[in-house]
Amino acid sequence: MAAISYLECTKCGNHISADEPRTVCPADGGSLYARYDLKPYIGKLKPQALAGRVRSMWRYAEVLPDVEPITLGEGFTPMIQSRHNANLLIKDEGLNPTGSFKARGLSAAVTMCKFYGVKKIAIPSAGNAASALAAYAAAAGIEAHIFMPKDVPQSNFIECKLYGATVTLVDGLISDCAKMVSERKSAENWFDISSLKEPFRVEGKKTMGYEVAEQLDWKLPDAIFYPTGGGVGLIGMWKAFDEMESLGWIGRERPKMICVQAEGCAPIIKAWEEHKPVSEFYPNAHTVAAGLRVPKAYADYIILDILKKSGGTAVSVTDDEIVKAVREWASSEGIFAAPEGAATLVAYRKLIASGFLSPADKVVLFNTGSGLKYVDVFKDYFPRSS
């Protein structure tokens, strides 16, 4: 594994020591990236060296912190070839521990909290991040304090309680939960593990980018569709591509990064269409896809910059379209997707219809979680017959 050289601010570029737990840049509040000394590996560490390693995200040890991981077997999820489209691949993150891609980021973040000796962690969550934090905190023996909207999927609430977390249900959105964490964290001695407000959830999520490359024999796809709430995974994959290029594993090519949001909560789409570098708080946010109900992502400036640099775009979809896509994926592909993941199928078809993408383009759609975690959300769409 690699020693962390420093933490780098994504706004001002300041270098900050990683010798103690950090949240954001003290100068301007920018999100921090962990940076490693990759020079010893350049030209010496070949992708072929990964063969036979543990089939989890920790197989990419040289680009992850040199600490003992708190792991439940997260990562190395399957890349499933669509049965109806030879150029369409589905990266199924629903097969992670706790049933979603959140396991990656929280494994890495809790690992570092354990390393630093953090005793109490707090998180605002729309659902799946809370479940993952609760599980990894339990494995690490760290106290977890979770703030979730009161209409969070029931499975997430039950998971958190079973894992032993202290749960507060909030009459509001994830932004209201984040405000409560921010107001109380100093008095309660909580370490705030909110999306992009600490540097290591990105490190866990970036392993999705390494896996996409490895599973496609180190040739990146033409486009990646990513359901975007806080956008940690999209940001992490972009960081991974830069690291892989530095290692000589890939060239300068990059996939078009496609941000997918729900029409009822589409701050990134609005900012993208208005050519703005940051988003505005999205009013009256609502969608059946709980993970997309994020009125303003903390690191929206990074997301929008990635869309621009990659030649990508941002697409919104309706709740009805999402539910229809969940049904279609289940009945035609055998994949019971989370609503956030199913949204990518709708977005893909829209970009094919518009000509932005060609049917010949190799595309990866991210299903970020298992539909089984949303049974109470789906029940109104699929009532039992007498």
Mean per-residue pLDDT, 302-329: 97
Q: Which two tokens stand for residue 247?
A: 């290692």
Predicted confidence at residue 168, as pLDDT, reads 95
Predicted confidence at residue 370, as pLDDT, reads 96
Q: Which two tokens stand for residue 11?
A: 């706004």
**Residue 386 confidence (pLDDT) above 70:** no
Owner of token pair 């078809």? 349
Percent of the chain with pLDDT over 90: 93
Would you say how long the chain is, in residues? 386
**Residue 385 confidence (pLDDT) above 80:** no
Going by C-beta distance under 8 Å and a sequence separation of 6 or more, which residues neighbour residue 293? Answer: 126, 149, 173, 174, 229, 262, 264, 265, 285, 286, 287
Predicted confidence at residue 1, as pLDDT, reads 59
**Residue 300 confidence (pLDDT) above 60:** yes
Tens of pLDDT, residues 43-73:
999 999 999 999 999 999 999 999 999 999 9
pLDDT tier for residue 39 given thresholds of 50, 70 and 90: very high
- Return the percent helix, strand and coil in the chain, to nearest 5: 40, 20, 40
Predicted confidence at residue 298, as pLDDT, reads 94
Number of continuous H segments (helices) and E segments (strands) in the chain: 12, 13
Predicted confidence at residue 72, as pLDDT, reads 97
Beta-strand pair 143-149/166-170: parallel
Predicted confidence at residue 232, as pLDDT, reads 96
Mean of per-residue pLDDT scores for the chain = 95
Percent of the chain with pLDDT over 70: 99
* Strands in the chain per DSSP E: 4-9, 15-16, 32-36, 79-81, 88-92, 120-124, 143-149, 166-170, 191-192, 223-227, 256-262, 313-317, 363-367
Predicted confidence at residue 127, as pLDDT, reads 87
Nearest-angstrom CA–CA distance, 338 and 147 = 21
Predicted confidence at residue 3, as pLDDT, reads 82
Task: Identify the DSSP state of 63.
Answer: G
